[in-house]
A and B are shown apart, each in its own frame.
Chain A
Amino acid sequence: MRLQDFAQVVRSKNAGPRRFTLDVIFRSDPDYQRAAQSEALTAAKIAPLYGVPASAVQVINYPLGRAIKIVIPRRIMSGDPGDRDVYGAQQHTPLLGLEI
């Protein structure tokens, strides 16, 4: 099943001007467990979607919020010349089709 078919929230936003963070939040604990135990949401799988080395990607499981957080460095700092997304709010789409 694709992530977008069962996640409640798949969002991105800056975490400071040099990184963006992706939050994937689930409706139920079983949904969360399924994603947290899946190989799909690991640094190694996410890094190529964003064109960064796996060592630059942080994945943090947050069961209290039924959420998985991913932190990725921005190639261009927020608002620098050439930036495409000052708030970093539209960088979530590569995750949508991930098979869990």
Chain B
Amino acid sequence: MTASARVLEHFGKSNCSEPIRILGASGQLGYGVPTPAFDAGLERAPHLIGCDMGSIDPGPYYLGSGELATSPTATRRDLRKVLRGALKLKIPLVIGSAGSAGAKPHLDCTLAMVREIAGEEGWHFRLGVLRADIDKSVLKAAIASGGVVSIDDMPALDAQEVDAASNIVGQMGMSAFQRALAADVDVIIAGRACDTAIFAALPAMAGFPVGPAQHMAKIIECASLCCVPGGRDSILATLDHDGFVLESMAPQRRATPVSVAAHSLYEQADPFTVQEPEGRLDLGRATYAAIDDRRTRVVGAVWQDAKEPWVKIEGARPVGERAILLCGTADPRFIARHEQLLKEIEGVVRDLVCEDAPEDYALTWRVYGVNGVRMTPVTQNELPAEAFIMGECIAPTRARAAEVVRTTKQYLLHHGYEGRLSTGGNLAFPFTPPEVSVGPAYRFNIYHLMRTANLDALFPLEIETL
């Protein structure tokens, strides 16, 4: 009998009033799952292990390129650890947003690791795979029928941008995971998914109320981040028919009413509502009460089914090749006049590299120590003793980007100006070459909602027996 069938059968018994225990193993699988807390969680006999593995927080590069943000070695280690735990307890393991961004290359890479680990360990199980890639023709048809709207003032989406995207994913919700759980599986690996759906799908299916199940999921998807001190150790949630209790599996981390309530603020614009494809979670009447100094009980979240499902769509497109220049300066006269001098250099470089080519690149600066970090203009009265200058070029080709930053380096080093004392050079390089070709650059060009009449078709399920 598979793990999902066992757990569903257990909770399907008419006289079952037992709470369900969900272990949130990791807020981002692939960055390390601390073993003591994870093992402590296994000892509590959870009914499911869930792990979130990605998001769009790290920017458009990973979605665009298809690469993982985490190292392959650490990712394999984490996958092996959570697979071993789930197979030992014969409980479902659910992983969402596989491989950092959850598109086909990320999911395929994660699956290859899982197959490799299963082969090495001699493990056998039924694997459910949920894909999250959105077909370009489906998205274009949705645009044509008025079924795509922007999020947060994103420009309206058109067919041209859809074609330019290298990967497009939709965030699947609970219903996709429930199809997989109903299909007799031990392990589910999903592409891009709502982090809550990973943890809420099974309890909702087993008859627990969706509001508290979703609220629990929203908190434990970040592991012990809702505690004081916050951390990435595994967390156990015990959900009954009214609410849930949170307990970090690391003894030093305390889930207090204020720390748990404050977690609703994290990376959310609105602490009172969470929008999911199948409905909306309302936290306006949620209450938080201490059971003891390490555990908090939460009740009161309300779920409202959506009239029609909307799916959040994310896409990234290439915008060129990136090369950067890394250098520092300690010269007070250079620092005092750096804005003007950098503008002059842009002109010098343009005249040289555009002699026989169009101005097909963008050269930008961040001057750390002065104004490299803040998004808003900085007024600074005192100038720093040293500054770090990063030049960045995005150009159509790797060679063109390298040409621009190498030319920039040489002319910035030797640029003469009125009052200059340091005629040996304006810059210090900690090493050479100070120019680095970083590879392709991407930008998010799709961040929209798509109306859909058929959620199931968007997120197809494949079953594989290992």
Contacts and interface: CB of A to CB of B under 8 A. Distances in A.
A15 B442 CA distance: 20
B442 A79 contact: yes
Interface in A10-25: 13-19, 21, 23, 25
B374 A90 contact: yes
Contacts of B319: 81
Given A65-B258, A86-B59, A16 B447 contact: yes
B447 A75 contact: no
Interface of B: 56-61, 151-154, 258, 261-271, 286-288, 319, 362, 364, 366, 372-377, 392, 394, 441-444, 447
9 contacts: A60-B271, A73-B152, A78-B57, A78-B60, A79-B442, A81-B394, A82-B362, A84-B372, A85-B375
Contact of B265 (A16, A69, A78): A69
A42 B51 CA distance: 38
Given A16-B269, A18-B151, A85-B373, A65 B262 contact: yes
A45 to B, nearest CB: 14
B444 A62 contact: no
A65 B258 CA distance: 5
Contacts of B443: 77, 79-81
A65 B375 contact: no
Contacts of B286: 64
Contact of A67 (B57, B262, B372, B442): B262
Contacts of A66: 258, 262
Given A62-B265, A66-B262, A84-B374, A16 B152 contact: yes
Nearest to B268: A15
Contacts of A78: 56-57, 59-60, 444
Interface residues of A, number: 41
A79 B394 contact: no
A74 B447 CA distance: 14
Contact of A91 (B59, B258, B263, B375): B375
B30 to A, nearest CB: 17
A80 B269 CA distance: 21
Of A15, A58, A85, A91, the most chain B CB neighbours within 10 A belong to: A15
A60 B265 CA distance: 10
A18 B152 contact: yes
A13 B268 CA distance: 9
A64 B377 contact: no
B57 A87 contact: yes
A76 interface: yes
A94 interface: yes
B222 to A, nearest CB: 12
Contact of B376 (A17, A60, A62, A94): A94
A41 interface: no
A19 B152 contact: yes
Interface of B is mostly: loop
A30 interface: no
A13 B266 contact: yes
B447 A18 contact: yes
A21 B265 contact: yes
B269 A19 contact: yes
B262 A15 contact: no
Nearest to A88: B375
A67 B265 contact: yes
Given A66-B258, A66-B262, A93-B374, A71 B59 contact: no
A31 to B, nearest CB: 12
Contacts of B152: 16, 18-19, 73
A79 B67 CA distance: 16
A67 B262 CA distance: 7
A66 B258 CA distance: 7
Contacts of A71: 269
Of A64, A77, A80, A85, the most chain B CB neighbours within 10 A belong to: A64
B375 A79 contact: no
A76 B364 contact: no
B373 A65 contact: no
Nearest to B320: A81
A16 B56 CA distance: 8
A11 to B, nearest CB: 9
A77 B444 CA distance: 8
Interface in A28-79: 49-51, 58, 60, 62, 64-67, 69, 71, 73-79
Contact of B364 (A23, A73, A81, A94): A81
Given A66-B258, A79-B61, 19 more contacts: A14-B57, A16-B56, A16-B152, A16-B269, A18-B153, A19-B269, A25-B262, A60-B271, A62-B264, A65-B261, A65-B265, A77-B444, A79-B59, A79-B444, A81-B362, A81-B441, A85-B375, A87-B58, A91-B374
Nearest to A23: B265
Contact of B269 (A21, A25, A81, A91): A21
Contacts of A17: 56, 59-60, 444, 447
Contacts of B374: 84-85, 90-91, 93-94
Contacts of A91: 374-376
B224 to A, nearest CB: 17
B277 to A, nearest CB: 16
